[in-house]
Amino acid sequence: METVSTKEVVTKLGNQSINVLVLCAGAGTSAMLANAITEGAKETGATISASAGAYGSHYEIMKNFDMIILAPQVNSFYEDIKKDTDALGIKLAATKGAEYIKLTRDPKGAISFVLSYFD
């Protein structure tokens, strides 16, 4: 995935802000990607915020987010959560092992990943 530039972020987002929830089994792994997204937002000027959570604790708060990213260990719940995200108009992304690790180490790449779900 190509890294996004600050100009591309501003062009794509305009005045829109995106609130992302990253879910894993216990909120530890998801914090790594949430932190990368937060860092990437600072680096690019993107109005994107990210929070980490444990799958199962998201039901009450998911309506407050524009996008949910599933860490690899909770990918098996994709179809279950997809019904809820579709009903609420929330973007849903599932990640695989190597992809997830790469995103946690590439803040600008993490921003590109998030933006790829918004047109």
Reported as a single tens digit per residue, the pLDDT across 27-59 is 789 999 999 999 999 998 889 999 999 999 888
Q: How far apart are CA 90 and CA 103, in angstroms?
A: 21
Q: What is the CA radius of gyration of the chain?
A: 13
Burial class (CB in 10 A: 0-12, 13-18, 19+), 50: buried
CA 31, distance to chain mean position in Å, is: 11
62-95 pLDDT tens trace: 999 999 999 999 999 999 999 999 999 999 999 9
Integer Cα distance of 16 and 12 in angstroms: 9
Among residues 13, 20, 23, 24, the one annotated as catalytic is 24
118 confidence band (pLDDT: 50, 70, 90): confident
1 has a pLDDT exceeding 60: no
Active site residue 76: no
User: What distance in Å separates the CA atoms of residue 107 and residue 66, rounded to the nearest whole number?
Assistant: 19
